[in-house]
């Protein structure tokens, strides 16, 4: 448990074959004298490019990004003298250090089967290429190339060497995109919302790492295209700080949170990974933000309810294991989690034509992004809050699998399969229906929790 437009990072943007090339000039200050910062300007009438040029003349800097849609401001490597000057400026609303961030890590994949996307009349998964026309942005390491994905455009927010491309040179983003929207064409794998138009918003480098300013660059680009892009997935996790907990409208809220607030207010639905550290998601951004749909992971190895599979996984579990139809042993949890979805050994796409099984809340989140796209396909024009409420309200009851959960530590692995009723779970259930997996209560109690798995 995402959480892309008009990125005028520079004097000129050169468009070649749909790729935005954004060279950034080095200024006089050496890298050893500078540190990365994000600056939000107080007035929308203040031109961020003009202010960057002014600061550059006076103090020297390396400009990284200019924000115009989700925020009005810029990101740059600043000298201590420039930081002091900006902190005193009446034109500056907020200046904060930039922070690092990283990726949270035609066969019918078990996850698609488990959320019953193959039964959804809007998804129409039948081996015939009939695409869901709700554009989705994947903010990640890039997407593709892969012929099983309909990539319609994108932006590169991490390359400053004049070699910008939104192709994926890590693999994580393409895996996320495959779960979300791989084509239903009789080959490879199929996604939850087959054939959705995908915008590749490259905010992580080849190692799956980036900074919050890179993420804000992507959010800014998406926000400027809100007329086209309706859903954005961010399988990205960073440590939360105190300013991340401040609400929308507070000028001291973190730059990342302010960008998400304005993008959601503009109409973009964000699904985000809860993270894979076995801690409360309250400690992670953007997972802690109320405005996004935060997704934790469950393990499912056969696409069916009832804890029938004997397969287990120890991936990322610190010596424990994930059992079939149980909470994933690596997944973050807590009151900020909205929804759970399959996230263990999910078969998906890689750049080229290969497929690979991947695990993590990064894999859980795009199941819900696909569900959001399906919801919007039948509820066009509704707000992000309505999409979130609609997904959570779409519950069905079936077989029950029970796990123990301890607040403040990793979930235990005790697990009992079997059949139950709604009363057994007392409102604290996770259900899988045609529009995805839903964490009903929104908070994990300190005692045993039931997780409801589907209607098939």
Query: How far apart are the C-alpha atoms of 143 and 146, rounded to whole Å?
Result: 8
Query: How far apart are the C-alpha atoms of 316 and 149, rounded to whole Å?
Result: 28
Handedness of CA 209, 214, 219, 225 (dihedral sign): negative
Query: How far apart are the C-alpha atoms of 331 and 259, rounded to whole Å?
Result: 26
Q: Are 64 and 24 in contact (CB under 8 A)?
A: yes
Strand order in the sheet with 73-78: 61-67, 73-78, 35-41, 92-97
Q: Are 238 and 105 in contact (CB under 8 A)?
A: no
DSSP helix, strand, coil percent of the chain (3-state; round to 5): 25, 25, 50
Identify the three-state secondary structure at position 136: strand
Q: How far is CA 161 from the centre of its chain?
A: 26
Strand order in the sheet with 236-239: 209-211, 100-103, 236-239, 284-285
- Enzyme catalytic residues: 140, 172, 362
């Amino acid at each position: 448990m995402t959480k892309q437009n008009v990125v005028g990072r520079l004097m000129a943007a050169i468009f070649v074959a749909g790729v935005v090339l954004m060279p950034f000039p080095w200024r006089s200050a050496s890298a050893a004298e500078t540190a990365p910062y994000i600056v939000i300007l107080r007035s929308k009438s203040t031109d961020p490019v003009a202010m960057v040029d002014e600061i550059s003349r006076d103090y020297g800097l390396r400009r990284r990004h200019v924000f115009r849609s989700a925020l009005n401001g810029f990101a740059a490597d600043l000298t201590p003298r420039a930081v002091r000057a900006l902190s005193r400026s009446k034109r500056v609303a907020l200046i904060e250090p930039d922070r690092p961030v990283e990726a949270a890590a035609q066969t019918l994949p078990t996850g698609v089967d488990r959320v019953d996307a193959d039964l959804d009349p809007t998804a129409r998964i039948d081996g015939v290429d009939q695409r869901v026309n709700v554009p989705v942005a994947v903010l990640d390491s890039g997407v593709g190339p892969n012929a099983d994905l309909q990539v319609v455009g994108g932006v590169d927010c991490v390359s400053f060497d004049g070699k910008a491309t939104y192709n994926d040179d890590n693999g994580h983003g393409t895996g996320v995109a495959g779960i979300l929207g791989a084509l239903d064409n009789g080959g490879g794998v199929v996604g939850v919302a087959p054939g959705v138009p995908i915008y590749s918003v490259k905010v992580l480098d080849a190692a799956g790492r980036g900074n919050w300013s890179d993420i804000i660059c992507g959010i800014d680009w998406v926000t400027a295209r809100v007329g086209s892009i309706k859903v954005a997935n961010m399988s990205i996790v960073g440590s939360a700080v105190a300013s991340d907990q401040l609400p929308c409208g507070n000028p001291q809220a973190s730059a990342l949170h302010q960008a998400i607030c304005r993008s959601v207010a503009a109409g973009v639905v964000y699904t985000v990974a809860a993270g894979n550290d076995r801690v409360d998601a309250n400690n992670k951004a953007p997972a802690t933000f109320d405005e996004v749909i935060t997704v934790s992971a469950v393990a499912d190895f056969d696409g069916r309810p009832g804890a029938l599979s004997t397969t287990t996984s120890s991936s990322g579990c610190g010596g424990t294991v994930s059992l079939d139809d149980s909470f994933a042993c690596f997944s973050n949890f807590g009151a900020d989690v909205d929804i759970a979805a399959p996230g263990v050994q999910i078969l998906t796409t890689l750049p080229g034509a290969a497929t690979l099984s991947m695990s993590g809340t990064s894999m859980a989140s795009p199941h819900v992004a696909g569900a959001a796209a399906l919801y919007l396909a039948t509820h066009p024009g509704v707000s992000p809050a309505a999409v979130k409420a609609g997904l959570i309200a779409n519950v069905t009851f079936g077989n029950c699998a029970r796990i123990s959960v301890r607040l403040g530590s990793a979930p235990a692995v005790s697990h009992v399969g079997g059949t139950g009723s709604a009363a057994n779970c007392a409102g604290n259930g996770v259900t899988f229906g045609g529009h995805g997996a839903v964490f009903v209560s929104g908070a994990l109690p300190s005692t045993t929790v039931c997780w409801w798995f589907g209607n098939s």
